[in-house]
Each structure stands twice: as structure tokens, then as C-alpha cells.
């Protein structure tokens, strides 16, 4: 199990899409994989028509994003890197610590990635953890095509405190009776109703690094 996750939403803004992809795929993404402890990276495109339209995640080991090698990336950036970063409409960077992984052992993310970030009052965090472990994760993994669920705790960035990544075989899983049952239990409704912040997104796999 990886120790954590470097997570970045991006919106190209004024950067032409072909230039944005060339920069990310040939320069920005590969540069992060030169850092010891950043073991894999993946890009995703939004399937839900919401903003921002692009996501990158990097699997990390403990201390990777605090290392001198990672900290040296910005000062040593190329002129193109600095220009593209300045022209982006959004770069929302977050760092997470992994707390669990359930389901299949995957060599890379599934074709569809559902992201759910949520905060609840501190007094309810144990109840939320129990809901995930005892009910929500088992019910979701019973849905055909639901491949893997990983949970994370936010360490740096502005976002809800807890993140879950769901690897799916296709969008068809949202039409299964198993999924509909998993998102309609009293315990689930109590957790969602108690959330102080919640965001749900759906992305499609675009590219891997490493």
C-alpha cells in the first residue's frame, strides 16, 4: 500500500489544450517521477462535465513531497513550465496520507475514477470510519465492476478532510441495484446529512507516468 497521494486538479485556462497536454505529458508529470518516493502518476479527464476538467494523482511514499528533490522542482523549472503554470486558470494541489485500501490489486487505476471528499464534525469521524469499513465499502465492492476503494486523510491543501478514490470498470456500475442500495441506507444518509463539506466527481483514465 502506498503511503500517500499527491493530488492536483488543473484547468488549462489560457493555455491551448494541445500545449497543455504536451507540457503535462512530456515535462511536468515525468519530472515528478524523478523524485525518490513518487512511484507512479496518472492523469484523468472529467466525465461529469463539472470543473475543473483535469486531475493528476501521484502515488507517494512517506516524506516524498517534503524531500529536497521535490522542493527543487520549482526553482529548476524550465521557462515553459513557469509560463504554463502562470497561465493556468487553476492548480489545486493537495497531499494525502493513505488510511486503507480494499478490493482488487490493480497495476493502474480503473477506466473510471469516482472521487468523494468529505468532512464531518470531529465527534463523528469514528462513526464515519466504521460506516466505511463495516457497511459502505463492502456494499460498493459487491457491485459488479466496482474494483477498488482507497481512503485518505488530508495532510496539506484546502479541501474536505477525507478522500475516497473508487476505481470502476465503467459508468454502468452506477445503474446496478448494488450501487443504488449502497447509497440509500440509513447509515449512509446520516453520514452525508452530517457532512460539513462534501464533493463528488467522476473522471476517466487518460494517461499514466512510470
Task: Write out 75-94 in H/E/C secondary structure.
Answer: CCCCHHHHHHHHHCCEEEEE
103-150 per-position pLDDT tens digit: 999 999 999 999 999 999 999 999 999 999 999 999 999 999 999 999
- Kindly report the average pLDDT of the chain as a whole number: 96
According to CATH, what is the number of the domain 4-209?
A: 3.30.70.100
- Could you give phi then psi for residue 40, rounded to 5 degrees? -165, 155
pLDDT at 171: 98
46-90 per-position pLDDT tens digit: 999 899 999 999 999 999 999 999 999 999 999 999 999 999 999
14-39 per-position pLDDT tens digit: 999 999 999 999 999 999 999 999 99
Q: In the chain, where are the structural domains located?
A: 4-209
193-203 per-position pLDDT tens digit: 999 999 999 99
Cβ neighbours, 10 Å, residue 189? 11
Amino acid at each position: 500500500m502506498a503511503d500517500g497521494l499527491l493530488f492536483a486538479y488543473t484547468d488549462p485556462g489560457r493555455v491551448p489544450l494541445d500545449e497543455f497536454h504536451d507540457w503535462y505529458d512530456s515535462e511536468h508529470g515525468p519530472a515528478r517521477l524523478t523524485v525518490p518516493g513518487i512511484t507512479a502518476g496518472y492523469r484523468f479527464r472529467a466525465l461529469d462535465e463539472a470543473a475543473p476538467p483535469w486531475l493528476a494523482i501521484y502515488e507517494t511514499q512517506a516524506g516524498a513531497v517534503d524531500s529536497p528533490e521535490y522542493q527543487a522542482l520549482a526553482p529548476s523549472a524550465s521557462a515553459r513550465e513557469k509560463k504554463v503554470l502562470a497561465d493556468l486558470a487553476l492548480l489545486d494541489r493537495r497531499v494525502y496520507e493513505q488510511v486503507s485500501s480494499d478490493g482488487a490489486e490493480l497495476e493502474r487505476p480503473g477506466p473510471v475514477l469516482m472521487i468523494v471528499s468529505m468532512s464531518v464534525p470531529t465527534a463523528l469521524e469514528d462513526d464515519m470510519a466504521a460506516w466505511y469499513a463495516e457497511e459502505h465499502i463492502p456494499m460498493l465492492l459487491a457491485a459488479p465492476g466496482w474494483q477498488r476503494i482507497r481512503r485518505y486523510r488530508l495532510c496539506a491543501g484546502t479541501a474536505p478532510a477525507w478522500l475516497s478514490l473508487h476505481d470502476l470498470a465503467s459508468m454502468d456500475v452506477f445503474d446496478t441495484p448494488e450501487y443504488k442500495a449502497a447509497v440509500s441506507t440509513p447509515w449512509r444518509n446520516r453520514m452525508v446529512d452530517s457532512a460539513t463539506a462534501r464533493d463528488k466527481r467522476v473522471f476517466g483514465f487518460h494517461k499514466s507516468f512510470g
